[in-house]
Amino acid sequence: MASVPLLTALHGGSDRPDALRVDGRACSYEELLGAAGAVARRVSGREAFAVEAGASLETVAAVVGGLLAGVPVVPVAPDAGPDERAHVLRDSGAELLPVDFAERADFSAAVDDAGEPDAGGGRPALVLYTSGTTGPPKGVMLSRAAIAEDLDALARAWEWTADDTLVHGLPLFHVHGLVLGVLGALRVGSRLVHTGRPTPAAYAAAGGSLYFGVPTVWHRVAREEAAARALSGARLLVSGSAPLPSPVFASLAELTGHEPVERYGMTETLITVSARADGPRAPGAVGVPLPGIATRIAESADGIGELQLTGPTLFDGYLGRPEATAAAYTDDGWFRTGDIAAIDPDGTHRIVGRASTDLIKSGGYRIGAGEVENALLAHPAVREAAVVGAPHTDLGQEIVAYVVADGVSASELTDFVASRLSVHKRPRQVRFLGELPRNAMGKPQKRLLPPL
């Protein structure tokens, strides 16, 4: 089965000279297609390729180039430490491709980005690395079809059109910033302003109609009254990637005049549940399933339990890890999100927590406790380590490490983790203990760790 083009608006869409602005540099669709064509020509025939995914036009050209050539793209976090980077490149088998945005080519397939067939065991469009509770991050394979389905469903839910100017400043190596924030704009045809960093001042200055942010971004906007008030001319403010605290919802509503729309998703499922532009919005409510998505609450007497789902936006599995892929589904084929949810009688979904304490969300980033523990245990002075997420007003959760170690300081340990993993995986607090609390079987008990 042949694929359909994903970036429909990019082909024959807007001729605005600044259709796309990323961190202060603008380009037209024609210029983007030229730069992406040059990438496509260079990667054509490869199994996959990786790109250093900073907030830049080069990243966008690389991703679009991969789509034009039908070659899977592996975005790498620019601040990934050496261990993390080496893992992603080794695991995916992808080589890093340097991109020069000034290079232009009329790639022959550039009439559209249908690329190669991706149905029925075909290659993914993107491989995004994301953390599990233990071990190094896994590559999530996302198909062109899943991305197209999701973007169309979101465009309908948010009444997102080519008349919009989308503004955000999110990282271009995750679903939120890259799939929704870049591919979404190129499919719908809305102008895109990527602010480089998602600061309140940059959001205020961008003059957009549609804004994306993680709760940390919205918390910072809500704290800066003038910046928040500047968003009153927007059409829709969308929050996701982590729970939006009620006080932030209330401040945004008061200062901007807009109740934010909350939506819920995962790297593995894309966005599956969302409040609608024309529907009710309430703090703690992430809306209703998108068309084609079925949800259920598992194993629950009180209606609160693990959220499970099926639908056309789900991933094609973890790269090279069939057992992990199989373990992500129930025996009857529903994806296990690991999130604890409740569904109101009117169908509104509420995410109330996570089943495992070993997946931490800090600033909207998903961080596996096990990956940080392994980084700490690689330090010669560390004998034991237990990492948890503690509540944090700005970040949602902050990473706290409890360690049993001799002759090493807290800052030496955070620097050590930062030298191996991404910046946001650094513990914010380190507590030294004589020993970790354990049960009778000798297994560490995170729930018995002393409070901060």
d(C-alpha 207, C-alpha 50), whole Å: 33
Residue numbers 2-31 binding ligand AMP by CB under 6 A: none
* Alpha carbon of residue 80 to chain centroid: 15
By CB under 6 A, residue 389 contacts ligand MCA? no
SS3 content of the chain, % helix, strand, coil (to 5): 30, 25, 40
By CB under 6 A, residue 198 contacts ligand MCA? yes
Residue numbers 262-281 binding ligand MCA by CB under 6 A: 265-267
Task: Decide: 416 and 79 in contact? Cβ < 8 Å.
Answer: no
Lookup: tokens for 140: 């999530």
Give the residue closest to ligand MCA by C-beta. 363
By CB under 6 A, residue 157 contacts ligand AMP? no
> Rounded to the nearest whole angstrom, what is the least distance from the CB of residue 397 to ligand MCA in the complex?
11
Selection from ligand AMP, ligand MCA, none that 414 binds (CB < 5 to 8 A by kind) is: ligand MCA
By CB under 6 A, residue 295 contacts ligand AMP? no
Choose between 21 and 361: whose C-beta lies nearer to ligand AMP. 361
Options 169, 240, 260, 370; binder of ligand AMP; rule CB under 6 A: 240
By CB under 6 A, residue 92 contacts ligand MCA? no
By CB under 6 A, residue 87 contacts ligand AMP? no
The answer for residues whose C-beta is within 8 angstroms of residue 254's C-beta and 6 or more apart is: none
Selection from ligand AMP, ligand MCA, none that 351 binds (CB < 5 to 8 A by kind) is: ligand AMP
74-82, 236-244, 296-304, 431-439 -> range binding ligand AMP (CB under 6 A): 236-244
d(C-alpha 142, C-alpha 313), whole Å: 9
Options 219, 354, 420, 426; binder of ligand AMP; rule CB under 6 A: 354
Bridge partners for 342 per DSSP = 304, 350
Total residues in contact with ligand MCA, by rule CB under 6 A? 24
- Taking Cα atoms as reference points, which of 57, 69, 3 lies closest to residue 31? 57
Selection from ligand AMP, ligand MCA, none that 216 binds (CB < 5 to 8 A by kind) is: ligand MCA
By CB under 6 A, residue 341 contacts ligand AMP? no
Choose between 41 and 424: whose C-beta lies nearer to ligand MCA. 424
Choose between 29 and 264: whose C-beta lies nearer to ligand AMP. 264
Strand intervals (E) in 378-435 = 382-392, 396-405, 429-432
What are residue 402's phi and psi, to 5 degrees? -100, 125
Task: Decide: 370 and 133 in contact? Cβ < 8 Å.
Answer: yes
The residue behind tokens 């990243």 is 59
Selection from ligand MCA, ligand AMP, none that 212 binds (CB < 5 to 8 A by kind) is: none
Options 173, 264, 318, 334; binder of ligand AMP; rule CB under 6 A: 264
118-126, 178-186, 263-271, 294-302 -> range binding ligand AMP (CB under 6 A): 263-271
Lookup: tokens for 418: 């930062």
18-26, 180-188, 241-249, 404-412 -> range binding ligand AMP (CB under 6 A): 241-249
> Rounded to the nearest whole angstrom, what is the least distance from the CB of residue 198 to ligand AMP in the complex?
16
* Alpha carbon of residue 116 to chain centroid: 25
By CB under 6 A, residue 371 contacts ligand AMP? no
d(C-alpha 265, C-alpha 273), whole Å: 7
- Taking Cα atoms as reference points, which of 266, 4, 351, 22 lies closest to residue 152? 4
Element (H or E) spanning 372, and its range? helix 369-377
Choose between 190 and 414: whose C-beta lies nearer to ligand MCA. 414
Selection from ligand MCA, ligand AMP, none that 52 binds (CB < 5 to 8 A by kind) is: none
Selection from ligand AMP, ligand MCA, none that 262 binds (CB < 5 to 8 A by kind) is: ligand AMP
**Angle between the N-to-C axes of helices 246-256 and 215-223, in degrees from 0 to 180, rounded to the nearest 10:** 50
d(C-alpha 427, C-alpha 429), whole Å: 5
Total residues in contact with ligand AMP, by rule CB under 6 A? 19
Options 351, 385, 386, 405; binder of ligand AMP; rule CB under 6 A: 351
d(C-alpha 46, C-alpha 116), whole Å: 12
Half-sphere exposure of 175 (CA within 13 A, CB side): 31
Question: Within 70-192, where are the H helices?
Answer: 82-92, 144-158, 184-188
Task: Decide: 234 and 209 in contact? Cβ < 8 Å.
Answer: yes
By CB under 6 A, residue 216 contacts ligand MCA? yes
Binding mask 227-266 for ligand MCA (x = CB under 6 A): -------------xx-----------------------xx
- Taking Cα atoms as reference points, which of 206, 175, 165 lies closest to residue 63? 175
Phi-psi category of 271—alpha, beta or left, where left has phi over 0 and alpha has psi -120 to 50? Answer: beta
Residue numbers 354-383 binding ligand MCA by CB under 6 A: 363-365
Count of residues making up the chain: 452
What is the binding site for ligand MCA (CB under 6 A)? 170-171, 174-177, 198, 214, 216-217, 240-241, 265-267, 363-365, 414, 423-424, 426-428
What is the binding site for ligand AMP (CB under 6 A)? 130, 175, 240-243, 262-267, 286, 337, 339, 351, 354, 361, 366
